[in-house]
Amino acid sequence: MNQANDAISRLRALAAAAQIKITQHAAQEMVAEAITLDDVLHAIENGNLLEDYPDHRRGACCLLHGTDTGSRDIHVVCTTANPTLIIITVYLPRPPKWISPTQRRDQP
């Protein structure tokens, strides 16, 4: 199993064990985008690692792409190195930042 699969497996195990914290920012985004906790957990369960940030200045984290319970594409940014899964932000990937749910528009 490679590192990405190891990370996803670990995140899924933390989510399944309800070892989760949601930041205030993530909670606000969830309300704004009508995303429920069940949607976030579903996206983690079926998601793929899009981007990994092991050396992020605020701590190791990653960007997951998955679908919610209604099949909407969702992005979840969460920690990867803590004993608790911290959901940093959640959003629906849309233009202009995203060309598709898995392809970021090139930065100028």
pTM beyond 0.85: yes
pLDDT of residue 41: 96
pLDDT of residue 107: 59
Indicate whether 10 pLDDT > 60.
Answer: yes
Q: Which of 2-6, 35-39, 85-89 has the lowest mean pLDDT?
A: 2-6
Q: Give the mean model confidence (pLDDT) for residues 57-65.
A: 91
Burial class (CB in 10 A: 0-12, 13-18, 19+), 94: exposed
Using CA atoms, how far apart are residues 76 and 93, in angstroms rounded to an integer?
Answer: 10
pLDDT of residue 102: 93
Q: Which amino acid is at 54?
A: P
pLDDT one-digit tens code per residue, 36-53:
999 999 999 999 999 999
Q: Which amino acid is at 26?
A: A
